[in-house]
Structure 1
Amino acid sequence: MKYEDIPLINNIDAHNFELAVDGVVSFIDYKQKGDKIYLIHTEVPQEMEGHGIAAALVEKTFIYLEQHNLKIIPLCVYIVAFLKRHPEWSRLLAVHD
């Protein structure tokens, strides 16, 4: 994975998982309800697009969520597409009640 040396930041106040590359912050906007994380929107600034940052951000977020025993509800189209390309992460999907 590219960017493995850059730490993921859980900005709890902003409800964002953030990855800062060369001083530019990309983020996933989320809401948490209990042990479920609703992943709402992924944003990479235009000048940083095409460098694999979004994929690294999603992967780091998934690792973080798995380490914290949290389940995901993907609402972001990028994350839905990522899950189709990487079905091994479907283990994190929340079971619908």
Structure 2
Amino acid sequence: MIAAFSVTPLGMGEEVAEAVAAAVRVVRASGLPNRTDAMFTSIEGDWDEVMAVIKEAIEAVKPYASRVSTVIKIDDRAGVTDGLTRKVESLERHLAG
């Protein structure tokens, strides 16, 4: 499965990069395939692995704020591996053609 998620500390004002960096460090340390962009971090693995990493990422943000908002979008498709790369490659082929 691929999960795209965003963890936002609330009540910190506009500068949340330090808190978000704590969450992204957790994802990168997990060893699971992942990508981070300006809005979301995507991570790929089986359900239990991915959800455990997301939970740990949320916990990593809690020292920065007493309230944390999380948005998660999940693509759970059996038999697919390397979906993070393959989906983008397919899109790029269509854009080029």
* TM-score higher than 0.5: no
TM-score (structure 1 length as normaliser): 0.35
* Structure whose residues are more often strand by fraction: 1
- Higher helix residue share: 2
- Structure-2-length-normalised TM-score: 0.35
